[in-house]
Amino acid sequence: MAEKRAVKVAIVGAGMSGLCMAAKMQDAGIETFTIFEQADEVGGTWRDNTYPGLHCDVPSRFYSYTFRSNPEWSRLLPPGNEVQSYFTQIATERGIRTHIRFGTPVTSAVFREGKWWISTAGGSEPFDVLITATGILRVPRYPDIPGLNEFAGPMFHSSRWDHSVSLQDKRIGLIGTGSTGVQITAELGGKVRGLTIFQRTAQWVFPFPNPRYSPITKAALRRVPVLSRLGYRFWQTVYENFFAKAMVRPGLRRRLVSAMCRWNLNFSVRDPRLRRKLTPDYQAMCKRIIAAGHYYQSVQKPGVDVVVDPIDHIAPTGVVTADGTLHEVDLLVIATGFDAHAYARPMEIIGENGVSLDEAWTDGPQAYRSVAVPGFPNMFMLMGPHSPIGQQSLVIIAENQADYAMWWIERIRDGAIDAASPTETATKEYNEQMKSAMPQTVWTTGCNSWYLDKHGVPELFPWEPARHRRLLASPEPSDFDVQPAQA
């Protein structure tokens, strides 16, 4: 057999995607990779988020790598600490930690002389391939509210939760009612001195129970691993054939999801006044669908108040709404999400001819099949622009994208090519096709969500996730500018 070339790969980020990429390379017999992680532990968003009530909104069996099932999940929708433990276990048991440089943020990645030069505080070194695995829910977004820094009590973003602050004796002000705000409310409602929810937009909540797995079930999963794989396939089928199709195609499924959300609200909230506050004015799934079993029960507990008047400013002792009311609180929690369009930023990435990624994306982020960008050879993005994050488990997305990157890495490793990047034409055609298909999706039916780019267009995949998987499983070398290997 011909000897394979040694390929040095730089992975930026040790979250779910970065660990996935590392495992795929290990399975291919590649150990010449380095993971740069700015924090001191793996896990990404699951490491950073530790707020009360945190859980994954994708079933645990489906939020698992295909190459590593986990029979120890405690619930259908796993608690956040279990998800984090799952990733830390994988990093340890596969020996990935020896490849990670913790506490090492990448300041820049520059492509020159056929290599990616990765710069950190410790210097610069060359790599053959660059993988960005920086995630989408990592850069906290703070609201632009006058006086936010004037609040006299403790205040923090939900992803920077301060566990030294007691909760039970506090009147808590919660700004934000997305998935995080709903989970915090479901956990704290009725358990603290007071909880005031400042709601700018009501959310549709899908009735998704979260039962525990019994000891018998766990024992069976340990003894018969195929049961975990069957569970994975079951939930994959549910997501891809029910929720995903409802999101990207009008029809019965979309109407059924809407009906279930409306039934959940009407059945759970008896007070007409409160029900009106909690009723959205847009279609279900236009924003990220929220799966919660007891949110409506918690929001009706004593001491919980939903305020729909817009916030005017923050005072030292509380929140002042537009009607002039001061809502006194002792603790302010900011649950306004993340900048989902940051991608690899603030790391500077410079491709061929000195063109930066920011310059290439002047009109907004665009990629070829969500993984590659023209003019940036041998760079592959995990969770890149227009990944199907709205209708699919992020774990299977990462696996599909990592497999695609591996296809090109193997071409380099075999000595067939030195570098490859998608052509401008192929990338433009692909993005035009997506733009044409977007109006049929639920995300364009009229709501303001974090899915939208600066032009108001959803930065999502407008077709079923199975199509994304097929696209990545069938690389088209003719769509790429390929530099043959030097003899």
- pLDDT, the chain, mean: 96
Residues 72-95: pLDDT tens digits? 999 999 999 999 999 999 999 999
As a whole number, mean pLDDT of residues 304-315 equals 98
pLDDT of residue 1: 47
Q: Domain coordinates of the chain in residue numbers? A: 9-139+339-484, 148-203+287-334
Range in 3-7, 117-121, 176-180, 242-246 with the lowest mean pLDDT:
3-7
CATH number of 9-139+339-484: 3.50.50.60
Interhelix angle 215-223/226-238, rounded to 10 degrees, is 110
Cβ-count burial of 355 within 10 angstroms (0-12 exposed, 13-18 middle, 19+ buried)? middle
Residues 462-482: pLDDT tens digits? 999 999 999 999 999 999 999
Is pLDDT above 70 for 217?
yes
pLDDT of residue 410: 97
Is pLDDT above 90 for 12?
yes
Place of tokens 């000897």: 3
pLDDT of residue 78: 97
pLDDT of residue 289: 87
Is pLDDT above 50 for 168?
yes
How far the first Cα of the chain sits from its last, in Å, is 18
State the amino acid at position 301 in one-letter form.
K
Task: Quote the CA–CA distance of 352 and 422 in Å, as a whole number.
Answer: 13
Is pLDDT above 80 for 228?
yes
Alpha-carbon torsion, ordered 440, 442, 443, 446, to 10 deg = 100
The second-level CATH assignment, the architecture, of 148-203+287-334 is: 3-Layer(bba) Sandwich (3.50)
Residues 428-448: pLDDT tens digits? 999 999 999 999 999 999 999
State residue 132 phi and psi, 5-degree precision.
-95, 120
Task: Quote the CA–CA distance of 341 and 295 in Å, as a whole number.
Answer: 28
**Confidence band of 2 (pLDDT split at 50, 70, 90):** low
Rounded to two decimals, the pTM is 0.96
The string over 262-300, giving b where at least 16 C-beta atoms fall within 10 Å of a residue's C-beta and e elsewhere, is: eebbeebbeeeebeebbebebbbbbbbbbbbbebbebbb
As a whole number, mean pLDDT of residues 344-360 equals 95
Question: Taking the CA of residue 195 as centre, how many other CA atoms within 13 Å lie in the half-sphere pointing to its CB?
Answer: 25
Is pLDDT above 90 for 55?
yes
As a whole number, mean pLDDT of residues 181-187 equals 96
As a whole number, mean pLDDT of residues 303-325 equals 98
Residues 127-142: pLDDT tens digits? 999 999 999 888 899 9
Task: Quote the CA–CA distance of 118 and 133 in Å, as a whole number.
Answer: 14
Residues 38-52: pLDDT tens digits? 999 999 999 999 999
Q: Percentage of the chain with pLDDT > 90?
A: 95
Is pLDDT above 90 for 259?
yes
Rg of the chain on CA atoms, in Å: 23
The yes-or-no answer to whether 9-139+339-484 and 148-203+287-334 have a common fold is: yes
Is pLDDT above 50 for 266?
yes
Residues 393-426: pLDDT tens digits? 999 999 999 999 999 999 999 999 999 999 999 9
**Confidence band of 20 (pLDDT split at 50, 70, 90):** very high
Is pLDDT above 70 for 487?
no
